[in-house]
Structure formats: structure tokens, C-alpha cells
Copies of this chain bind each other. A is one copy, B any other.
Amino acid sequence: MSHNTFGHLFRVTTFGESHGPALGGVVDGCPPNLRFRLTDIQRELDRRRPGQSRFTTQRQEPDQVKVLSGVMADGEDLITTGTPIGLLIENTDQRSKDYSEIEKLYRPGHADITYQTKYGIRDHRGGGRSSARETAMRVAAGALARLVVPGFSVRAALVQMGSIKVDRSRWNWNEVDNNPFFCPDPEAAKEMEGYLDGIRKSGSSIGAVIEVVAEGVPAGLGAPVYGKLDADIAAAFMSINAVKGVEIGEGMGAATLTGEENADEIRMGNDGKPLFLSNHAGGILGGISTGQEVVARFAVKPTSSILTQRRSIDRDGNEVDVRTKGRHDPCVGIRAVPIGEAMMACVVADHYLRHRGQVG
């Protein structure tokens, strides 16, 4: 991960600010002869798109993606040619005036102060480059990444909002699309709904935990010791806006386990392949995939834009009080669900190609 590009053989580069003319991305190194439709990308973008329930920002962006290069059309299908795939989403709902009053302000918890300090200049409109709007391009790239590994699939779910955690005995992937939280536990979803309504009405916000589960990850992916699969997943998740923690398998909880509890025992499966009897490791040993489900989580901090006044300073060093009006997500973790899937898909696709390169 470097500057605005990540991946080695499957490489994603993005550009664009929240309120500039457009967001763009380049997917370089994609294998040729993968077949898809524009709707395959659009469907993923629509899952991330704001304004779909009262629990996400009311900014209305159609997020219509264009594919500018790297494909040949065959009817409605697009076929990758192996050359870089250019992606573009034009920004339409830019209302920059909403942001004029924060041009000089440093909103606590936002990256205003750090971008200004680092670069001596920043695009303040809607957070500029630090806005989560950039993640639309990750989701678009992720839609392509899903095509790379035969048999691969990835799903994510919101497993915790504030102190409300899903009950894993009630986990049902089908429920994820039945509530506005991507929550796999309908009971927890109901509880979240009431809780988040309160948060939203009071102009507050709350954090969340997202779990990402990848199936069909072949055994053997990962490039130890500095390109370990889990290290790349950790970087990919931590690069998502507002993420403060990343876990693989047991995650931070591994600290409390004994060696006996943590060991994933192995038997031979009926298919003649190794059969792991548990998955504390999250499908990764020594930085290399085991062939099990890869299970990872990340924690998203509460939206920093809140109505309650907080103390801060401005660019000129004046002490000020800040209240953030405008359109915001009471729980940005919700919209991070498809982003987590996309990042996992990109990392796995990249490691699949890298492994195929080195080992054949």
C-alpha cells in the first residue's frame, strides 16, 4: 500500500475529492478475458450509496460508474483485455456552499487539521480527499476483484453497534439485506433500529464492528514475511475511513486464550483434503491461507460530525467551538460493510495472482 495505489499484481489506484468534478480509479493488472456487466459494478455501488435509509447521509449521489478502458464489449457483456481499467463516477450533488463555513475550521476527529498541517493546503469541501466518498471507487474495484479467483465469494455484516452485539446463534446471512444495517441477526437489528434513531435524533453518532468472511480462498495465498495475507488485510481495512482496529480470527481476544484453546486441530476430510475442526486462526497461518474461510473484523469509530458543540481551533490558531451541521451518517460503520467486502476481494485477488506468479 503506497500513496493512492494498493496491490502488487492486481493494483488499484484512486483519485478524486468529495466535492470535485469526479471520482476515478484505475484497476491495473486485472487478468484478461473476465466477463462482466456494468450492472455487476453498479449493484455493489448501490449497496454503498448514501441516502437509502434514514440511517445514512441524505446526500443524493446516483454514483453512476463508467468504464473508460480495458474492456471490449460483447453485447451487454464487457470482457477485460488485460490493460488498465479506468473507472469514473461524476459527482453531481456537490452543494459546496454547505461547507464554506468550515473552510478554516478544524472539526475534531476529522482529518482537517492533519491534511492542512501536512500539505499546507486542503480541499475542505466535504472533507476533500479524506471523505469516505473515495471508497466508492474501492467498491467498484472490488466488484472486478470478485471475478478473479474462481469460486471466490465474500460477504460482510455489521456485528456490533455501540454495545449491541449480534447473537451468533441467530446469525443468518439472508437477514443482512432485510434491515438497513447489514445485520445478520434480526433481533439485534431491531434493537439497533431503536437505538440508532435516538442517536440520529440527538445529532450524535456511534461506532460499529464489521465482520468480513471470504469463502473459496484457495490454500496457499500470502507472501510471508512482509506480504502476509493477514498483514495486507489489516492494512486494507485500516485504510478505510474511521477504522481503528482490525482482527483476524480470534483477534484481540487471542490474548486470553491458552494454546490448547487456540489450536485448530486437523483431520482428513472425506474429500481427501485437510479438515480443520475449528477456525480460531481465521483461515490464516503464518500469513498464508489455510483453505478455510478467511474471517476478519474491523472497528469503525463514531462519525466525528456531531451536533454537539466541541472545542477546537481554526487554521489561524483561534480557539473556536464547532458544531457540525449538514448531512451525515449517525453510524458510518453501516456503509463500511460493502467497503470491507471490496477490500477483502481486492487483497485476495492480488495474492491469488502473486501466488500464481511465483508458484505456478
Bound complex: CA of A291 vs CA of B245, how far in Å? 20
Task: Specify the chain B residue showing the minimal Cβ separation from A207.
Answer: B255
Residue A312 at the chain B interface, CB threshold 8 Å: yes
A266/B2 in contact, CB under 8 A: no
Indicate if A194 sits at the interface (CB-CB under 8 A). Answer: no
Interface string of A11-47 (1 = CB under 8 A from B): 1111111001111101011111100000000000000
Q: Is A259 an interface residue (CB 8 A)?
A: yes
Give A306-341 interface residues, CB cut-off 8 Å to B. Answer: 306, 308, 310-313, 317, 319, 333
**CA separation between A308 and B16, bound complex, in Å?**
47
Q: Which residue of B lies closest to A17 (CB)?
A: B69
Instruction: Count contacts on A: residues with CB < 8 A to the other chain.
Output: 156
Give the residues in chain B near A251, CB-CB below 8 Å: 244-245, 252, 299
- Does A353 lie at the interface of the complex (its beta carbon under 8 Å from any beta carbon of B)? yes
One digit per residue, 1 when the CB lies within 8 angstroms of any chain B CB and 0 when it does not, for chain A 335-355 equals 000000000000000000111
A156 to B264, CA, bound (A): 30
User: For residue A11, which residue of chain B has the nearest CB?
Assistant: B3
A281 close to chain B: CB less than 8 A: yes
Contact stretch, chosen from A54-62, A173-181, A222-230: A222-230
> Given B9, B86, B208, which contacts A358 in the complex, CB threshold below 8 Å?
B9
- Kindly provide the distance from the CB of A243 to the nearest chain B CB, expressed in whole angstroms: 8
Measured CA separation A219–B253 after assembly (Å):
32
A94 interfacial contact with B, CB 8 Å: no
Residues of B within 8 A of A21 (CB): 66, 68-69
Instruction: Count chain B CB atoms within 10 A of each CB in A23, A86, A129 and give the residue with the most.
Output: A86
For window 189-231 of chain A, which residues contact chain B by CB distance below 8 Å? 199, 204-209, 219-228, 230-231
Say whether B244 contacts A247, CB under 8 Å.
Answer: yes
Whether A286 contacts B14 in the complex (CB less than 8 A), given A3-B84, A245-B245, A358-B29, comes out as: no
Residue with the highest number of chain B CB atoms closer than 10 Å, among A85, A252, A255:
A255
Q: Quick check: is A282 within 8 A (CB to CB) of the other chain?
A: yes
Cα A308 to Cα B258 in complex, Å, equals 11
Beyond A113-B285, A161-B255, A232-B235, 10 extra complex contacts between A and B, CB < 8 Å? A13-B84, A14-B226, A82-B121, A83-B224, A113-B290, A114-B287, A130-B225, A233-B238, A245-B246, A250-B301
